[in-house]
């Protein structure tokens, strides 16, 4: 065990695009667990778009990261010391342990995971929060029926890739929207979507061609011009789970959606959701997702960056679409 704990702190609140200088990397002592506490050594750190919001000082559904605090984030790690009866040295856990090598926990934010069931990295992706997000948003809000057309943006990413595969299993026509030919080829050939559109091309025309019967469910991950183009193709009573709008997270001036008026005449239901509001459904979702991964019916892709010191650069890359699948940082 190294004597020191490496940590990434929030150094500045960015305006517009995040910069590497908005983070500070420091060394501190490895903390010592007190009564009831567990010391976790993080093995993988998940980088997620929501972290951009935690860097801001504004009203949100979750607390912001304070300046000088360790950046918030989910990890998978191993218990290296335990003074809590529920955990033993050697347990593998999913934790909210932040951008650091070691963290203390009282156990309440730890979830024991089975390293023999699926690769441990997947507990941060397809069998973790992003996978559950896809499952909740699609099933609870999207409610697709066999034969309907489902469109999902950021289709090769952690959430979008699962959305499309779940919708396909329900007998839907599934169309992805992704950035670039390589991601689009993966979405169709590997994930089994019916079509995939490059959002950097002429989106309205490509969307019309790929959705000849219109759109019944649009799983929204990006916002901006993509949402505007999709609205024009929506069928009566279409459902739009508003999962995220990553195109707006670094925008100084937000994009004004032009075609929202269509939602009235088409009686479209747009509903935002946050996955952590649906904790009672997590076990069911995680079970189904783990089964799918084990059976090979749910495929996934990961971009693994080596070393915590490279996390800030990888996070900026995620916000710019440089990741291909779930963005992780390997810490060991
Ligand atoms: N509501 C919730 O509880 C919840 C939970 C988890 C995630 N989310 C949201 O779900 C969305 C996807 O998250 P994820 O973890 O799966 O990330 P991800 O899709 O793995 O990665 C982000 C992707 O967003 C796309 N993107 C970035 N900027 C874009 C732009 N300007 N226009 C179009 N696409 C852009 C890029 O893909 P391309 O290269 O394909 O464009 C990039 O790879 C995010 O909006 C996130 O905030 C919500």
The encoded tokens of residue 100 equal 């650091």
pTM over 0.95: yes
| Distance from Cα 239 to the centre of ligand 1, integer Å | 19
pLDDT at 3: 65
Distances (CA, A) of 126 to 96, 97, 134, 139, 161: 17, 19, 9, 16, 9
| Distance from Cα 16 to the centre of ligand 1, integer Å | 17
- Which residue carries 């088409």 as its tokens? 266
- Residue closest via CA to ligand 1's atom 29 equals 247
- Residue closest via CA to ligand 1's atom 26 equals 321
Q: Which spans in 118-202 are helix H?
A: 129-136, 158-169, 181-189
pLDDT at 150: 99
| Distance from Cα 321 to the centre of ligand 1, integer Å | 8
Query: What whole-number distance in Å separates Cα of residue 176 and Cα of residue 207?
Result: 10
pLDDT at 55: 98
DSSP 8-state class, residue 65: P
pLDDT at 222: 98
Residues with CB under 6 Å of ligand 1 are 48-50, 130, 133, 154, 156-160, 178-179, 183, 199, 221-222, 226, 243-244, 246-247, 273-275, 318, 321, 323, 326
Query: What whole-number distance in Å separates Cα of residue 226 and Cα of residue 161?
Result: 17
List the chain residues with pLDDT less than 50. none
| Distance from Cα 135 to the centre of ligand 1, integer Å | 15
- Residue closest via CA to ligand 1's atom 36 equals 321
Q: What is residue 90's three-state secondary structure?
A: coil
| Distance from Cα 267 to the centre of ligand 1, integer Å | 26
pLDDT at 236: 98
């Amino acid at each position: 065990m190294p004597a020191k704990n490496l940590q990434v702190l929030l150094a500045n609140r960015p305006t517009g695009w995040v910069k590497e200088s908005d983070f500070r990397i420091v060394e501190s002592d490895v903390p010592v667990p007190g009564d009831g506490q567990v010391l976790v050594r993080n093995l993988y750190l998940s980088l997620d778009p929501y972290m951009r919001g935690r860097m801001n000082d504004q009203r949100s559904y979750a607390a912001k990261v304070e300046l000088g605090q360790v950046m918030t984030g989910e990890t998978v790690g191993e218990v290296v010391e335990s003074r809590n009866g529920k955990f033993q040295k050697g347990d593998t856990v999913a934790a909210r342990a932040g951008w650091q090598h070691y963290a203390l926990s009282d156990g309440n934010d730890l979830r024991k995971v089975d390293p023999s069931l699926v690769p441990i990295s997947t507990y941060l992706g397809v069998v973790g929060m992003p996978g559950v997000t896809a499952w909740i948003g699609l099933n609870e809000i999207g409610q697709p029926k066999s034969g309907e057309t489902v469109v999902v943006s950021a289709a090769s990413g952690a959430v979008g890739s699962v959305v499309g595969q779940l919708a396909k299993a329900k007998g839907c026509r599934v169309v992805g929207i992704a950035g670039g030919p390589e991601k689009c080829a993966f979405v169709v050939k590997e994930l089994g979507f019916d079509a995939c559109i490059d959002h950097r091309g002429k989106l309205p025309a490509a969307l019309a061609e790929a959705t000849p019967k219109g759109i019944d469910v649009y799983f929204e991950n990006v916002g901006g011009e993509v949402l505007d183009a999709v609205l024009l193709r929506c069928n009566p009573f279409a459902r739009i789970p508003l999962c995220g709008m990553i195109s707006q997270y670094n925008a100084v001036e937000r994009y004004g959606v032009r075609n929202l008026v269509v939602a009235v005449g088409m009686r479209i239901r747009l509903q935002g959701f946050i996955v952590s509001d649906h904790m009672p459904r997590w076990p069911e979702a995680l079970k189904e997702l783990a089964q799918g991964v084990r059976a090979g019916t749910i495929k996934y892709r990961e971009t693994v960056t080596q070393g915590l010191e490279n996390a800030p650069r990888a996070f900026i890359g995620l916000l710019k679409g440089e990741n291909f699948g779930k963005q992780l940082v390997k810490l060991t």
